[in-house]
Chains A and B, each alone.
Chain A
């Protein structure tokens, strides 16, 4: 695709849906890493992602790493060029968006460009555990879920703060999010529900909005009790800034997904779905 086409596609995706952009794709995993001025921590996530690609290969699962840079102004772009030159044959790819449009557009654009059907959404400051990513792949294949998530290990100052997200889906999700964006997605299903929402009302909560969207459209979101990776709490993190926006996000989510307050009483397909490939549903 030419750069002008990328610009047009990005503009279109900022306003329209993903559905028409995503065709069927071969089985395998594309690890998507959105990046915005994370030059100093990006190599860490890329290294773990490339290791994960190798582990997938040992299981005969094709995989790649796709970093989508949202017009960084630090040294990220040069770094990405270097990494591509070094690791292209190992599956490393980079896209540099022509203008900054926020994480939702960056993620959606990466979803259209990924080679494989499943996408592991890894943030530029986090790390994926190569050995456990394959268990997530087995789970999404066996359950046909739209999303598989697991607990994350939250680190601050290099020390474990908490194990986050250790619970399956229930209706409390309509009140407060407890699942991070760091998940494995079936990008076909995600595209069919129009992907991440690019809307200031859900700034830094695009992942929650997508989970609610998948939930209300009857898709399956499966909890796998295996730690997928490390979540580093950095100073000036976007998620910390987003805390102040929570009221806006909550109001928005409430208005769109639970205006009549019925959600607590209505069964959802994805309620309490917990699975492990060696056990089955439990």
Chain B
């Protein structure tokens, strides 16, 4: 049974980032978000098709995440977005070979082609990093993606712009799930889901339950003291019986 942790989810990215970091990316992909994105794909009712529109902003980290976990996706597309071509796109095939990923490499040179790349059977997820783009421009860029497929959803990666962008989409009637609000331990996530339907949010809640336990970190020291007393009692009984 597959058991994924932040470490195993983010490991392909960490190994990739160790290879080359001459230019720091606009957006550092967090280990928590790697985990959430991977598990989102893993738990989705039908394998999703990923359109990684955040690859240039993350310096290829999100692309590496997708390729490192290609088995949980139906298909991966990493459309070309910027001119001139960012340096990471030219070295990416070599990076994959060096890291031992013998997978069919997604096309890195072709722009987004929704007409041909969308599968009617596989829900598309568009991973998007708005950077400094204005809220109006983000809405203009993202809305056509949501219209393209009834089960489409967008994963917005942004630490600072989330609230403004999320408010716009909520007002427009989309279902917005701010990951930070789904679990106290997700407070550092940069991921917001914008969807036509409830499924992505439901999957995210399932993931959040993985982080619920009996040990409350606030009362943990007290619990440990109680445990210590019980342990001492048990050990003393053992010694008496010997």
Contact = CB atoms under 8 A, between A and B. Distances in A.
Given A66-B7, A85-B6, A43 B220 contact: yes
A178 interface: no
> By DSSP majority rule, is chain A's interface helix, strand, loop, or mixed?
mixed
Given A4-B71, A95-B7, A78 B210 contact: yes
Interface string A22-49: 0000000000000000011101100000
A2 interface: yes
Given A81-B211, A82-B211, A88-B31, A158 B232 contact: yes
Nearest to B226: A40
B233 to A, nearest CB: 9
A78 B2 contact: no
A78 B11 CA distance: 20
Contacts of A41: 227
Contacts of A6: 8
B4 interface: yes
A1 B11 contact: yes
B61 to A, nearest CB: 15
A82 B8 CA distance: 15
Nearest to B185: A85
Interface stretch (B89-97, B126-134, B156-164, B234-242): B234-242
Interface size class of B (residues with CB under 8 A): 35 or more
B231 A234 contact: yes
Contacts of B235: 156-157, 233-235
Contact of A85 (B12, B32, B234): B32
Nearest to B12: A1
B186 A85 contact: yes
B3 to A, nearest CB: 4
B213 A82 contact: yes
Contacts, number: 95
A84 interface: yes
A94 interface: yes
Given A78-B212, A235-B235, A84 B217 contact: no
Q: Which of B3, B31, B212 has the most CB of A within 10 A?
A: B3
A13 interface: no
B227 A2 contact: no
B7 A75 contact: no
Nearest to B184: A85
B68 interface: yes
A3 B2 contact: yes
A96 interface: yes
A39 B235 CA distance: 18
A43 B210 CA distance: 18
Interface residues of A, number: 37
A237 B207 CA distance: 34
Given A81-B5, A84-B5, A158-B228, A235 B211 contact: no
Interface string B189-232: 00000000000000000000011111101001000100110011
B225 to A, nearest CB: 11
A93 interface: yes
B12 A84 contact: no
Contacts of B71: 2, 4
Contacts of B69: 2
B5 A95 contact: yes
A84 B7 contact: yes
Contacts of B232: 157-158
Closest 5 CB pairs of A and B: A78-B213, A3-B2, A85-B185, A93-B7, A96-B3
Given A39-B215, A88-B6, A95-B8, 19 more contacts: A1-B8, A1-B12, A2-B8, A2-B71, A4-B71, A75-B213, A75-B215, A80-B5, A85-B32, A85-B211, A86-B217, A88-B10, A88-B32, A93-B7, A95-B5, A96-B5, A97-B3, A235-B231, A235-B235
21 contacts: A2-B68, A2-B71, A3-B8, A4-B2, A43-B224, A66-B7, A75-B213, A78-B212, A81-B5, A84-B5, A85-B32, A85-B186, A86-B185, A88-B31, A89-B188, A93-B6, A95-B7, A97-B3, A233-B235, A234-B231, A235-B231
Interface of A: 1-4, 6, 39-41, 43-44, 66, 75, 77-82, 84-86, 88-89, 93-98, 113, 115, 156-158, 233-235
